[in-house]
Each structure stands twice: as structure tokens, then as C-alpha cells.
Amino acid sequence: MTYLDHAATTPMVPEAIAAMNATMLEGGNPSSLHASGRRARRRVEEARELVAQRVGARPSEIVFMSGGTEADNLAVKGLYWARHHADPARRRILASAVEHHALLDPLTWLEKAEGAVADLIEVDASCRLDVDALRAALERDPSDVALISCMWANNEVGTVQPLSEVVALAAEHGIPVHSDAVQALGHAPVDFADSGLDAMTLSSHKLGGPTGVGALVVRRELDAVPLLHGGGQERDLRSGTLNTAAITAFAAAVDVAVTRRDEESRRLEALRERLVAGVRTAVPDAVVNGAGEPGPTHRLPHVAHVTFPGCEGDSLLMLLDAQGIECSTGSACSAGVPQASHVLIAMGMDELAARGSLRFSLGWTSTEADVDRLLAALPSVHERARAAAKAGRR
């Protein structure tokens, strides 16, 4: 099997597996007062300190959750409720049009259920947020804006967003900013304190940790209404018994991803260049999407998003899968839904072209041999997919 879908999820790193196995053998509820509970609590707090250190935050700002989706929901709903309840005029939420559905769908829910107004800001053809459009939307009436959310880097095409400019604009009007940094951590320099953000989403399974765990990094000074009520764990922002083993493994994965980032980014960038050059040779009319320039302020090193004109992405994906090569037509959370990617449409691509696109994403297990197997299979796969699409249009 050739796995080229690391942006969807990446295999657990050995360090995370070891940490999880060791903790699972211990047991204990971290809210209990006896020895086993105190030991579990120590594991959780050590993990909290490690994650905080690696992402430039204070330990008290790390709120453990079930993953990126819950963290995005808490960030959007919790901040909106707190701000709107304090000032009912604040009904508008500004967000980029290319956010993950884990953020866009809560916005839609807030519009329908709570009367919020989601103001989605356009991006350019490279998927970079239009800062002038954000400024215009913000300055139209900053007094009615509850929060701004802008992802650190796009999960489909890998473009890094101009967060520093977003934060600077928001600061002029005292508006909190949240960023979904799920794809960025481990592939770009992520420092919560330096960023000026108020809240930031992290997810374990994108880093080599287990699924079902993540964190919302949130400033202590920021008010947010919790989604879950119960035992009051995690600063009363996220009640529920803490998953000690998963949290410990998450911290181990963060540690590995951040400490090895520079070396691994160089390795993955070289593999990406090999992949892109090979695709262009095999399919000369293929179009590589997203920011073209490499570097942590432009695009992620491990994502290559390609449009194959005249083809259906689903056909390409299944033909490659039949040869043991796994990739994606976009966000895994939207897989199987017969519609064009909202990200590509927001970038100005027409629906036909958007449906003919694939995302190849690399990770810690990726090798030159993986790339070469893709490139060897691609010419025949592309020919068959294009013929099938042509026949279907007759």
C-alpha cells in the first residue's frame, strides 16, 4: 500500500504508541483523589505542560477535548455566546470562506438556531485570504462583530493564511481571533503567544497521535460558554472524564512533530517537489493548486493539490486505490459527498475543474518509493479516467 493521505490522518508515531500503552496499563481517573487518580492527574498535567511548551502557550491555556471538531465548535459557539450575551448587538462572525466544515457547519447552525450572521471572507486564486476584503467587512461596523476565525493553513491546498494581518486588524477593534491550526502544527512554526491569537484548535491524529483527542488553546482572560456541562473539568470549559492515555499520547506526538519539524519539513518538501515534477511530466496539462512559493508563510511542505482537466477526481481516486495507492479528493470529512470542494470554488475554480482534483499529502512514513509508485501508475490511470469522463459526457 502507498499511503498519500496524511492530511486526513497519519499513522501513530512509535513514541505516541509507547506513551499510550504505558498509560493504559495504569488506569485511574484523574479526578479521583486516591493514589491511582493522582498518578493519572500527574500524567495529564505533564502532558498539558509539554503541549503548552511546544506550542508557545501557558499550561493553563490548554483545554483538552475529543479532537479538532469539538475544539472548533467550542471556539465558535462558546465565544459567540459569551460575546453576544454580553452585548446583543454582536451578532456577526467573520471567517474565511475556505474554513474546514468543522468550523463552517457550526456557523451555519448559529445562523439558523441563534440568529447569528456568518460573514465569509473571500480568498484569492491561491487560497490566501483577501485582507482588504476582511478589513472592509470589519470596518463596515466593528461593533456588531463577535469574533473572527481564520485557519492557520488550508487543509486541502496547503496555503498558509496571513494570520498576523488578521490579528492586527482585529486588535484595532478589540475583537477576539480564533484559528484552526490542525494542519499547520508540525509543518509550520506555530507559537500561540507570538501569534496574538485568542484561541487555537489542535488535533492529535494529524500529528501521529491517536484519534479522539485534541485541544483548544484559549487565553485565560477570554470568556467562553461551554458546550458540555458536568464535572467542571478543564477550567469548566469541557466537562467529562479525561482520556488520560490519549492525552499522554497526544502530548508525545506533539513533542515529536514540533522538535523534528525543521528536518522533516525539508524532507517532505523535497518529496513534494519530486511528486509535482513527476505529475507535470506524466500529465502536462495538470494544474497544481494553492500557493506556489514554498516556505512557512506561503504553503505547507507536505500537501500537493492537483487538478486533472477532463477527469473526475472520484474516478482517479478509485483507479489509484485499485493499484494500492491512497489519496484524497479533498477533506476526508467530506469524502463520498458528490459535490465540488467549497475551497476550490472559493478560489474561483469552476465546478467541473473542482471535481477533477486530487490531494496528495505526505507524512512521516512517506518515501521516494511511495512517490515513484504513484508516478508509475499515473499515466494509465489518467488515461482511463479521462476516457471514462469523455464517455460519460456523450
Q: How far is Cα 156 from Cα 7, in angstroms, rounded to an integer?
A: 8
Q: How far is Cα 55 from Cα 217, in angstroms, rounded to an integer?
A: 9
Torsion of CA 184, 185, 188, 192, to 10 degrees: 100
| 34 neighbors 20 (Cβ within 8 angstroms) | no
DSSP 259-282: HTHHHHHHHHHHHHHHHHHHHHHH
Q: How far is Cα 140 from Cα 132, in angstroms, rounded to an integer?
A: 12
Q: How far is Cα 378 from Cα 131, in angstroms, rounded to an integer?
A: 38
Q: What is the DSSP letter of 78?
A: I
Per annotation, catalytic residue among 127, 150, 311, 333: 333
Q: How far is Cα 82 from Cα 224, in angstroms, rounded to an integer?
A: 5
Q: Give yes or no: 333 in active site.
A: yes
* Catalytically active residues, by annotation: 333
